[in-house]
């Protein structure tokens, strides 16, 4: 039942989690939201610590299991318990530290907690990997989905009942609830509108590029150079002429076009979206089998019909892959546009950097990372779903 050659990935994760739990601070208690704090170990968290510690033992034990699917399930459970246990312990630690502290004191998440979470993620990944293996794949996706759902339930419980709502990140959110969600919406709107503008320009450009080699070289060359330009430099180069234009023509100002704010942001983001969309539209069209196009022509299709009924549907998965790459890119660059006065999640980052308030930085950076991952996963899912069955098999 046990093997001499354990799952080295799972063991690495467990050792990382254990070492960071013992050696690094779990949290820091600050006198107020800006001051430097004192590092604290996990000890103050109390009895709840048993949960992550048992999960660690379970992970080490599971690494030595022979049966791949059993190992997968036990490791995944250990990963879920570990992540949930860390969240609950952090909540308990924060509550117990805040008992004797003044109400303006803050408990920030320590480096030990972050590295423990990384270790827990490695354990969970090794379990997932074991379940994805050939022998266990027949069990279907349903069983595996239990683990992410259980993790989400644990995190919810930690916030709702486990005292996780007393940490500094939650306090920063509490102060800014009224601006937080509008910032998320503004972030998504700016990135989304720019992506749609990028599509409206990029797809036709990609189609022309597939037809004409000279236009292709220019289009790919120029969009490639745009992509290379640092986002902050691009915004800087856009605001000066826009400011001059809106000063010279009051009509533009009435339309909301100004040197700073959303206008330069949207122009820059649209330009950045062009390269992945143009390139993938062109590559997608270039990869369509000429025999299929010939067949369509033989059926008497016009050029327009060929393009929209044969070539574009076949190129669609690659075009969507370009949209995915563009979306992930734009979610990040949108944050930078906060520096030229567009209000979005990036504003929290730069305000936080300005005040040296680490938890305000987190309040901006964590949702941005989540949005980027959601855009990545969501759009790859859509790209998979629209891929015609015949193309997928090839």
Partner 1 sequence: MRPSRRTPVLAAFATFVFAWLLTRTSWLEAALKWAFPTEVSWLHPRADLVSLTVEHLAIVAISSGLTVLVGVPLGIWVTRSSGRDFRQLVAASVDLGQTFPPVAVLALAMPVLGFGFKPTIVALFLYGMFPVVSSTIAGLDSVPTSTLEAAKGMGMSPMQVLFRVELPLASRIIMSGIRTSVVINIGTATIGATIGTGGLGVPIIGGLATRNMAYVVEGALPAAVLAVLIDVLLGQVEHGFAVPLQEADSA
Taking the C-alpha atoms of residue 49 and residue 90, their distance in angstroms, rounded to an integer, is 9
Taking the C-alpha atoms of residue 58 and residue 292, their distance in angstroms, rounded to an integer, is 56
Cβ 21 to partner 1 shortest distance, Å: 17
Query: How many of the other CB atoms lie within 10 Å of CB of 150?
Result: 17
**Residue in 365, 382, 387, 391 binding partner 1, rule: CB under 8 A:** 365
The verdict on 4 binding partner 1 (CB under 8 A) reads no
**Residue in 207, 315, 361, 383 binding partner 1, rule: CB under 8 A:** 361
The verdict on 217 binding partner 1 (CB under 8 A) reads yes
Report which secondary-structure segment, H or E, holds 342.
none
The verdict on 373 binding partner 1 (CB under 8 A) reads yes
Distance between first and last Cα of the chain? 41
The tokens describing 31, both together, are: 């006198």
Site string for partner 1, 128-157 (x = CB under 8 A): -x----------------------------
Give the phi and the psi of residue 162 in degrees, each rounded to 5: -95, 5
Instruction: Name the nearest CA neighbour of 311 among 323, 327, 325, 295.
Output: 295
**Residue in 234, 268, 269, 274 binding partner 1, rule: CB under 8 A:** 234
**Residue in 68, 296, 332, 382 binding partner 1, rule: CB under 8 A:** 332
Greatest CA separation for the chain: 83
Contact 65, 74 (CB under 8 A): yes
Taking the C-alpha atoms of residue 165 and residue 174, their distance in angstroms, rounded to an integer, is 9
Cβ distance to partner 1 smaller for residue 284 or 352: 352
Contact 66, 4 (CB under 8 A): no
Residues of this chain, 7-26, that bind partner 1 according to CB under 8 A: 7-9, 12
The verdict on 328 binding partner 1 (CB under 8 A) reads yes
**Residue in 16, 51, 56, 368 binding partner 1, rule: CB under 8 A:** 368
Footprint of partner 1 on this chain (CB under 8 A)?
A: 7-9, 12, 108, 111, 122, 125-126, 129, 217, 221, 224-225, 228-237, 239-240, 243, 259, 328, 331-333, 335-336, 339-340, 346, 349-350, 352-353, 356, 358-359, 361-362, 364-366, 368-369, 372-373, 375-376
């Amino acid at each position: 039942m046990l093997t001499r050659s354990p799952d080295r990935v799972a063991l690495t994760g467990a050792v990382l989690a254990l070492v960071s739990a013992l050696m690094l601070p779990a949290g820091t208690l600050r006198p107020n939201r800006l001051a430097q704090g004192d590092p604290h170990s996990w000890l103050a968290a109390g009895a709840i610590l048993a949960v992550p510690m048992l999960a660690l033992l379970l992970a080490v034990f599971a690494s030595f299991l022979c049966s791949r699917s059993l190992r997968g399930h036990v490791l995944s459970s250990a990963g879920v318990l570990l992540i949930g246990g860390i969240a609950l312990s952090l909540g308990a630690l924060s509550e117990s530290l805040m008992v004797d502290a003044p109400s303006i004191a803050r408990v920030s998440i320590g480096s030990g907690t972050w590295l423990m979470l990384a270790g827990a993620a490695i354990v969970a990944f090794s379990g997932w990997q074991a379940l994805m293996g050939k022998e266990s794949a027949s069990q279907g996706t349903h069983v595996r989905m239990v683990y992410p759902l259980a993790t989400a339930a644990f995190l919810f419980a930690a916030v709702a009942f486990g005292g996780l709502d007393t940490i500094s990140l939650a306090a920063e959110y509490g102060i800014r609830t009224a601006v937080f969600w509008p910032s998320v919406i503004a972030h998504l709107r700016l990135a989304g509108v720019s992506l749609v503008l990028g599509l409206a320009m990029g797809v036709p450009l990609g189609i022309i590029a597939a037809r004409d080699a000279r236009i292709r070289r220019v289009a790919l060359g120029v969009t490639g150079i745009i992509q290379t330009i640092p986002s902050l430099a691009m915004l800087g180069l856009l605001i000066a002429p826009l400011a001059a234009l809106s000063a010279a023509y009051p009509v533009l100002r009435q339309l909301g076009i100004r040197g700073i704010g959303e206008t330069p942001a949207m122009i820059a983001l649209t330009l950045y979206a062009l390269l992945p969309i143009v390139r993938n539209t062109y590559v997608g069209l270039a990869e369509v089998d000429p025999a299929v196009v010939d067949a369509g022509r033989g059926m008497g299709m016009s050029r327009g019909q060929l393009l929209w009924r044969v070539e574009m549907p076949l190129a669609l998965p690659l075009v969507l892959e370009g949209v995915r790459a563009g979306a992930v890119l734009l979610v990040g660059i949108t944050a930078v546009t906060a520096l030229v006065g567009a209000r979005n999640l990036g504003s929290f980052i730069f305000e936080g950097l300005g005040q040296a308030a680490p938890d305000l930085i987190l309040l901006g950076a964590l949702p941005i990372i989540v949005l980027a991952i959601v855009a990545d996963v969501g759009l790859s899912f859509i790209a998979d779903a629209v891929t015609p069955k015949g193309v997928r098999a090839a």
